[in-house]
Structure 1
C-alpha cells in the first residue's frame, strides 16, 4: 500500500501536493500541525480498494459494514453514523472523509443497481430511490417519476455516472466541510502565533487600536519571518500607511475646485465641514469663488446654520427644495471655483436615502462621504456600504479630536479602498481642518490609549478568530 507524507506551510498546500501525487482519487488518512507547518498522510483510492478486497477474503461476511449498509436506501442519521464509524476505522480527517463518503455511496448504489438488473436480453437499469428527510406531494411525484423512468443498458465500457446526493444532505455536508476548514485554519494560525509571540503581541495591539480581526490577520499572515519586535512594528506601520489612500500627492479639495455634495449619516458634521471647505476656498480665491447650497429641509435650523456660516465668510447660502431647483442653482453658480451642497443626514437604512442619492445623480457633481472618525467599526462599515458609489469613493474623517480610537475609520478606508481627502479636528471654521496624512493617521491610531474595558486579552484571540474568519479580505486589495 503506497502511503506518503506531505509537509507544507499550510493545509491547503499540503493537500495540493497530495493530489499532485495521487490524482483525483486521493484519500487523506491524517493531518497534523508540526514545527515546519502541516503534515498530511495520504494514499490513492485504489490502495483502499485493495484493502477492501483483502478484508473480504479473510472475513466470512464478504463485504465491509459500510458497503453492506450503503446497498440500501439511507437516511441522514444512517449516513452520519457511518461517517463516524469509517472515519475512526481509516484514521482519516473529517474534511477528506466527506468527499470519500459521497464517492463511495454513489459507487455502491450503482453496483447494487446493476446486480438487481433483469436478464441480459432485456437488460435495464432502474434508478434507485433517493433518500429524503420528509415526503411532500411534489417530492413524491418526482421520486415516482424517477422510479418509473428506465435507461437502456449500454456496453460495459461506459461506467454509469454516480448518482448525486439529495440536495439537503449535500448542502449540510458542504456546510460541515466549510466549518471544518475554517476551524482548522484558525487553529493552525493560533498555533503559529503561540510559537511567534511577536506576531501575537502585534495582533493584540492592532485589535486594541480598533482594527478589525479580518484586516489584522490578513496583514500579519504576510509578515516576513525572522523580524525582531521593532522591525515587525515598523513593517506593520509601513503596510498600513501604503494601503491607506489619501490625496497627499494631489491637489487639496479647495485647490482642486468643482461641485461637491457632502453626504453621510445624521450628526457627523457635514454642515460644519462644508463651511470649513468654503472658508478655505474663500481665503485663497476670495468670497466670490464659493457657492453654498442646502438640501436639508428636514432638520430644524439646518438652513439657518449654513446661512450663518455663509454670512461669516461673505458667501450667500441658497436653498434647493427639489431636483429642478438644484439644477437651476447649479447653472447659476457654474462660474464658481467651488460649489458645496449640504445634504440631509440620513441613516444608512433610511428609505429616503435612495431618493436623495438619485437627486444628486447629476453631471459633474462629486460626492464626499463624511465619516465620524470616532464611530464604531460596524457602524462605519454599514455607512460606507450604504453610501458607497460605483466610482472611487472620496471621504472626509470628521471629529478626529473626539475619537478615542482611529483604527475603525482607517480599517474601513483600507478595506473599502476609500480615498481620504481631509480631516476635521474641531469646530472652528475654517481653522480646524487638516490635509489627510496617512503617516500621521496610522501612527496616531497605534498610540497607547490606556486600559479599556473593551480591550481583548491574549486568551481571547481564539474567540476573535472564530467570529471573524467567515469574512476574508481579498488578498489582491492589500499591498504588503
Structure 2
C-alpha cells in the first residue's frame, strides 16, 4: 500500500504536498504536530479501492498525479486545500462521513451505470444496542434501558488475493486499527460534547473502575438526564451487576468444604478464622473443622492453631493429597470445614500444584481478594486463580482500601459472586455479609485528591484502543 508521510510548517502546506503526490483522490489517514510543524500521513483512494477489489499492488488502476493533463503546480494545489485544511480540526466522525460521501460522489460521477462498490472490506451486521463491543452481552432492564436503537458492527472480510499472506494480514490489521481508532476518538468526541457524561466518565476512572467497564456503562446511559440522575443510574447499574449471596444462605449456614485460595498476604488465614468463629457461635465449636495446607510460610500453622484454640476448634495440618483426603474423611461429620492454603503469586510455578491438590469432590473454592489492591494486580490474580463454574470471592481488608472500584470492577467483569467482606483484624467480629448497594456507594464516595487521579484532558490516554481489552464474556444488565 502506497502510504507516505508529509511534513510542513502548517497543515495547509502539508496537505498541499500530499495533493501533489496523490492528486484529487488524496485520503488523509491521520495527522499530528511535530517539532518541525505538522506531519500528515496520506494515501490515495485508489489504493484502498484496489485492496477492496482484491487486486495486488501492481493490479488495477495506477495512481496518477493528476487526472486531466499535466500535473498541477504547487500554487494550484494549494488553492484547492482550503476546505481540506479545516477537516483536520473537525471530529473523527465528521471526517469519516466526509471521506465516505466524497468517495461515493466521485465513483458515481465516473461510472454512473455501474453499482457503487463498498468503500471498506467490511460487511455490516445489524444487532441491538444491547450487544457490547467489550465482551459483555448487555441485558437491558425494561425500566431504564434506552430505546432499541441499532448500531452497526464492522466485520472484516478477507477477500484480498494476489498478495503474500503476511502482507494481506498486515494490511487488514492496519485497517482494523484505523477503524478502531476512529471509533474510539469519535466516541470521546461525543462524550466531550456532553459535560455530564464527561464528568461521570472521569468520576468512574477516579474511583478505580477500568476504562472497559466505564465505557460499557456510559455507552448505554439514557440521554436527557441531569447530573444527579446520571450518578444514581450508574450506581444502580453497578449494583445490579455486582453479584452477591444476598438471596442465598450465608457460608456458615450453607456449610460444606471451602478452600480459601489467593495471593500471599491477602488475609486468607484470618478470614478462615473469622468464618470458623461465626459458625462456632451459631452451631457450636464441634460443628467446625480447620485444615491448613500452608507448609511454606513460617508460623502459618501456629497462627491457625492459635485462632482455633481461641475458638475451641482443633486445626489440622495436611502435608499432601493423601493426608488431606484422610482429614476430610475424619471431619466429614462437621457442618463447615475450612481449608487454609498457601499464598502464592499468580506466576509462581507452585500454584498449579496447589490447585491440583484441591481437585477433590465437594471442595468449593473461595478466592480471597485484597480490596485495596491495584486494578492490574487484581486482574492478574483473578485470571490466575479463577475457576470454572460459578467462581466465588471474598473481599478482604476493606478497611485498608482507599478505592473499592478496582475490586468491584474485577468482580463484575469476571462474573464473580461476592460471599462476604472483612473489615478489620478482629476475629470473628470484623466480618460482614456482601451488600452490593453498600459496596458500590462506598466506591463512588468522594475521596481526597490523589496524585494518581486523572484530569479531564487525560481521558484520551485511558480510552485509547490499546489501553483497554475485551472483558470476559457474560451477562451484563444495563
Structure 2 length as normaliser, TM-score?
0.70
- 1:182–1:469 CA contact under 8 A, matched in 2: no
1:392 to 385, 390, 400: 390
Matches within 5 A, 1:340-379: 340-379=338-377
Given the superposition, is the C-alpha separation of residues 259 and 107 from structure 1 closer, same or farther in structure 2, using an over 3 Å criterion?
closer
Q: Which residue of 1 aligns with 2:74?
A: none
Partner Cα distance (2:253, 2:44) in 1: 60
Q: Which residue of 2 aligns with 1:100?
A: 49
2:448 to 444, 450, 470: 450
Partner Cα distance (2:59, 2:23) in 1: 25
CA root-mean-square deviation: 2.4
Q: Which has the bigger relative contact order, CA under 8 A and spacing at least 6?
A: 2
Partner Cα distance (1:301, 1:414) in 2: 35
Given the superposition, is the C-alpha separation of residues 360 and 228 from structure 1 closer, same or farther in structure 2, using an over 3 Å criterion?
same
Report the structure number with the largest CA radius of gyration.
Answer: 1
Given the superposition, is the C-alpha separation of residues 111 and 202 from structure 1 closer, same or farther in structure 2, using an over 3 Å criterion?
closer
Secondary structure at the residue paired with 2:3? helix
1:197 to 195, 198, 218: 195
2:24 to 68, 77, 89: 89
Partner Cα distance (1:190, 1:96) in 2: 27
Partner Cα distance (1:309, 1:105) in 2: 71
What displacement does 1:468 show? 5.1
Q: Which residue of 2 aligns with 1:246?
A: 244
Q: Which moved more, 1:461-470 or 1:92-101?
A: 92-101
Unaligned runs of 5+ in 1: 1-75, 113-160
Partner Cα distance (1:366, 1:217) in 2: 34
Partner Cα distance (1:88, 1:275) in 2: 76
Secondary structure at the residue paired with 1:339? strand
Partner Cα distance (1:401, 1:419) in 2: 20
Per-residue CA shift, 1:229-256, capped at 9, x if unaligned?
1111110000000000000011111110
Unaligned runs of 5+ in 2: 6-17, 30-42, 62-158
Per-residue CA shift, 1:194-230, capped at 9, x if unaligned?
2100000001100000001111011001000111111
Q: Which residue of 2 aligns with 1:80?
A: 3
Given the superposition, is the C-alpha separation of residues 448 and 88 from structure 1 closer, same or farther in structure 2, using an over 3 Å criterion?
farther
Given the superposition, is the C-alpha separation of residues 87 and 240 from structure 1 closer, same or farther in structure 2, using an over 3 Å criterion?
farther
- 1:245–1:419 CA contact under 8 A, matched in 2: yes
Equivalent pairs, count: 355
Given the superposition, is the C-alpha separation of residues 96 and 431 from structure 1 closer, same or farther in structure 2, using an over 3 Å criterion?
farther
Partner Cα distance (2:188, 2:204) in 1: 16
2:319 to 321, 326, 335: 321
What displacement does 1:162 show? 7.0
Secondary structure at the residue paired with 1:477? strand
Matches within 5 A, 1:146-165: 163-165=161-163
- 1:182–1:470 CA contact under 8 A, matched in 2: no
1:225 to 223, 237, 255: 223
Structure 1 length as normaliser, TM-score?
0.70
What displacement does 1:91 show? 5.1
Partner Cα distance (1:87, 1:256) in 2: 72
Per-residue CA shift, 1:234-290, capped at 9, x if unaligned?
100000000000000111111100000000000000000000000000000000000
Per-residue CA shift, 1:15-34, capped at 9, x if unaligned?
xxxxxxxxxxxxxxxxxxxx
Q: Which residue of 2 aligns with 1:286?
A: 284
Given the superposition, is the C-alpha separation of residues 475 and 369 from structure 1 closer, same or farther in structure 2, using an over 3 Å criterion?
closer
The structure with more helix, counted as a fraction of residues: 1
